[in-house]
Each structure stands twice: as C-alpha cells, then as structure tokens.
Structure 1
Amino acid sequence: MTARLSRRDGLRLIGLAALGASASPATVMAAADGLVHAEDFSDARTLDTGFWTLETGFFRNQEEQYYDPANVFVRDGALVLEGRAELKRNAAYDPAGPDWTRTRQYARYSSGSILSRRAFLYGVFEVVARVPAGLGTWPAIWLIDERGAPYREIDIMEAVGVTPDTVFSSVHAGTSLADLRHWSGQAAMPRLAEGFHTYRLDWRRDAVTIAVDGRTVLAMDPEAARVGGADPLRRPMQLRINLALGGSWGGRIDDTVLPARLEIRSVRVWAPAA
C-alpha cells in the first residue's frame, strides 16, 4: 500500500518561505476547463457521496486514528472532518495480518477522510478550509494514486500542530516509493487556524502551481519528474481530504485539543474536456 510521505529532510525548496513575498499565480482558467464538481456547504446539508467515498480503517504513516464515516458530517455551513479521542475496534483486525493496519486491534482515536471516486488528469482544484490547531493534528488536502506505479502525489496543503501557523505544499513522484524525487514549499501564515483559507492547485501538462489565498507557494514542471519511460505527473490522480492524528509527522497527540475539526466551506473542481 502506498502512503503519503512524512520525511521532509532533503526536499528541494522551490516554494517561498513567506506567503507575503510570493508572486500571484495565473488566475485565468484554461479555455478547455469546465466546472465538473462544486459543493458549497453553506447550502448543502450532506456530502455528495456520488462524488466522494468515505474511508474506513487504518491506512498510512503509522497514524493513530481509525477513519470512520461517522466523523464526517455537515454542520454550521461547513463539512466537518472531526478527530476524536475514543476507542475504536479495527474491523479488519487480523493478528496474523500483513502489516500494522491489520494487526492493531484497537485505535484510541478516530477521524474522517474522504476520497474522490473519480480520478482526474489535469485541472484546477480549489478547497476553502479551516485547519485545526494543536499537537498531533495533521490535516491534508492532496491528490494521489494508490493503484500502482509510477508513484505520484501532489500535496496541496498539509499542516501539523507541531509546526503551527505554517502551510506545507509538496510534490512526490517516481517509479516507486523507494525511488522518489521531491519538490516542496511552505508558507508562514500567522493565526492559520483562526480562519478559512483558499487552497488551490492548477495542474497542467507543463506546470504544477499551488497557491494559498491567491499567492504561489510551489511551482514546478512535471517534466522534471519524468524518469525513463515513467511520466508520473502526467497520470490520473484522485482528490483526498483527511484529518490525521499522530503518525510519522503528526507526532505526539495532545488529547486536550480534541475533538479537533478540519472544516471545509466549499470544494470546486474544473477539468479539461475529455
């Protein structure tokens, strides 16, 4: 099973350290792009399960939470992914299982994760969200393909409680998990958890551009990820939004900050015509 990388050492810093010093990305939509999905949770009462699937279980990065659809709900004008301190039994428990996702019988925490049913090849992905604060929280908005090589991942936004008021954006790509190249940027954002921010990816054949509130955090050329016959960043990926707790990057969890919420005000996706 592929997993989002947690190691940040040695990343190639292409983004800008301070959001205020960055340049604005192009805001003109490509002529071929059409709006293919839109959810405004100020109006919607439920998640569109025709577009999303809700994940259940343990997944990646030795994270502590067990994902449960009950932790995903719409309230007060936002889609909520809620991390809780509560005991959950692993429905896939197998003491002789192949890895930790099966051999852990219980979780001390639960949370929410949603994954688009459709895989996209290029387009614009815009999520308006408010992240939680507190040690052990690890919210993320990202594109991923977990169905086989070559490995590709675009992290539109990650935030970790141990590094408050900072947004991380990254690209990881290679022939496999064992052979990856990395591009990353970060943005300092004072009082990050106090308000909603707009996270946006513009993914084209010749460019990946990630912006927060209209300011570029990371820009790279997908050609740089090509290795031999593998062209990872020109292959389809699914959109995932999740709130992890603990794990290889989230670190120690402060139970006093729970329940913690990743709140989504809206999601919009534009994609090229097929």
Structure 2
Amino acid sequence: MKINPAFVISILFLLLSISSQAQWKLVWSDEFDRDGKPNASNWKAEKGFVRNHEFQWFQEDNAYCKNGMLIIEARKEEVKNPNYVAGSKNWKEERPTAHYTSASMITQGLQHFQYGRFEMKAKIDTRSGMWPAFWTLGNKGEWPENGEIDIMEYYRGTILANAVWGSMEKWKGIWSTVKKPVSEFNDPEWSSKFHIWRMDWDEKSIRLYVDDLLMNSIDLEKTYNAKDPHKNPFRQPHYILVGMAVGGDNGGDPSKTEFPARYEIDYVRVYQK
C-alpha cells in the first residue's frame, strides 16, 4: 500500500496540536454569563482620569454583562471632575469636566497569575479615537519596573503586541513592540468579527498571538530591569486589565466618531500546565 507523505505529515501536525492542547489546564475564567455588573470576585473598576492623558473619565457604570458578553462602553457625555483645581498644570486636575466616559476593569488584588496561557475572545471598536486593550501588570514595583504585557492593544488603525520593563530613567521603559495595521489582515470585515488574542508565557519567553498568528516573541533573558539587573518583572505574578480608552497620547481623534462605542468580550481565560 502506498502511503501519501503529505497525509502522514498532516496527521503528525494534528497529533502535536492535540498534545499541546492537552498540556493546558483551565485554572480561571470569566465567561460573563450572568447579566448585570461584572463579577466582583474577579473585577474592580478603575475610576477617574488614570493614565496617558486620556480624554475619558473611567467609571463603573460603563461596564456590564449582557447576553454572555462583558460590554465596555465608551460614551460621549459630560461628567464633572471632582478633582478639578483652577490653574493647575496637572492633567488630572486642570479639566473641570470630562467629555467622554468609559470603563477599565482590573483583577488587581483579586486574581493574579504567574505564567500560563492567557486568552480572550473579543470584538473591538476600531473607529477613530478608540483605544481598547487586554493587558497585564506585575504585582510588585512601580511602572515600568513591575512589567507590562499588552496582549492586545489597538489604536489609529493598528494592532499592537508589546511588553515593557524598566530602563535607567524613572517612568521610561524599554519596549518590545510589534505593530500590524488592520488593513494587512486582507479582510474588509475584520473589525466586525470576534478574534482570539492569546499569550503563552513561561519562565523563558512571552509569545503573543492574534487568531494563532504569532505577533511578538520576547526572550525573558533580555528583560531584566536596567536599574536592578537582578529583577525580572516577568518572573512574578501579574494581574489582568481590560478597558477602552478614548483619545489621549495614542488613541487619536474621536470628534467625528459616533458614540456609544463598544468593546465586547466573550470570555477571558487562563490556563496553566
């Protein structure tokens, strides 16, 4: 009997794939299958003006679960800034109002993990001014010495897969960044579909994917903090953040975008070997 080599190779790849999947055990997930507020044992909401000179005021009301999804909704609405100080040069204090609201939900102090496969299925809003993200921060240390991993970040027409750690300068990181314009996916319907973002992270490397396409691979022997070369921020537990910013340092101009804007998350899961 003649054996087709291509058939044998395809079977071997299938077996390898099954074996790889069998290594992973689900250790935590949120399927968002209960309507109402996000599960308080998993998530808490960031509040106010938080980072990156963003336009939105983060508030709890803009995140809710409905029909098996976590919906993070950015709205164009006026909200008073209770921290306003007339004449202040601090970006968090100088604006009497915010013109947009949104939500950022984080697992800090509730759920954290060191190593594993982190996975999210979601549909993101890719219109002008939108800045959705799925990312992690290390439990210990000041940014960026605590380490940041951007499993998914989007702004200005581009998907990003990043990691950042400490340099010799305060609040200035060393970045490993890979960018891919959405237009390069050659799918005019890409932005209207759900996609799977994944991180495979162990003591040796971080690998970031979208729909099984490897975006970025980071060697953890190269990510020790410059100020303290004995500390590697990616060899400690990290917590998870999901949120959508508006404008700010990178988000772009939202002035011609019709609101509300939605970031819809089907699930967030963490597997470990």
TM-score (norm 2): 0.80
Kindly report which structure 2 residues correspond to 1:234-253, keeping only aligned pairs within 5 A, or say none: 234-253=235-254
Distance 1:94 1:36 in 2: 45
Higher Rg of the two aligned structures: 2
Task: Determine which structure has the larger strand proportion and give its number.
Answer: 1
Match of 1:6 in 2: none
10, 35, 41: which one aligns with 1:45: 35
Aligned equivalent of 1:133, options 109, 126, 135: 126
Q: Is the 8 A contact 1:137 1:246 kept in 2?
A: yes
Q: Tell me the alpha carbon deviations over residues 219-259 of structure 1, each in whole angstroms, 9 at most, x when there is no partner.
A: 11111111422212212221100100000101211343211
CA distance in 1, matches of 2:261, 2:161: 22
Letter in 2 for 1:203: W
Q: What is the percent sequence identity of the aligned residues?
A: 30
* Alpha-carbon spacing, 1:118–1:218, altered in 2? closer, same or farther (3 Å): same
**Deviation at 1:53?**
0.7
- Which piece of structure 1 moves more, 248-257 or 260-269? 248-257
1:142 to 1:254, Cα distance in 2 relative to 1, 3 A: same
Q: 2:63: which partner in 1?
A: 72
Residue in 1 aligned with 2:162?
170
Aligned equivalent of 2:203: 205
Unaligned 5+ segments in structure 1 are 1-25
Larger RCO, structure (CA 8 Å, separation 6 or more): 1
**Partner letter of residue 152 of structure 1?**
G
User: 1:89 offset after TM fit, Å?
Assistant: 1.5
1:189-204 equivalence runs, <5 A:
189=185, 190=187, 191-204=189-202
Q: Name the stretch that deviates more: 258-267 or 44-53.
A: 44-53
Task: Give the Cα separation in 1 of the matches to 2:62 and 2:199.
Answer: 26
Q: Distance in 1 between matches of 2:112 and 2:45?
A: 15
| TM-score where L is the length of structure 1 | 0.80
Match of 1:182 in 2: 175
Q: Residue 56 of structure 2 contacts residue 98 of structure 2 at CA under 8 Å; is this kept in 1? A: yes
Of 90-99 and 124-133, deviating more is 90-99
Could you list the per-position Cα deviations for residues 30-79 of structure 1 after superposition, in whole angstroms to 9, with x for gaps in the alignment? Answer: 85x642322223x3324211011111111011000001111001223321
Gap runs ≥5 in structure 2 = 1-16
Q: CA RMSD in A?
A: 2.4
1:155 maps to 150
The alignment covers a number of residue pairs equal to 243
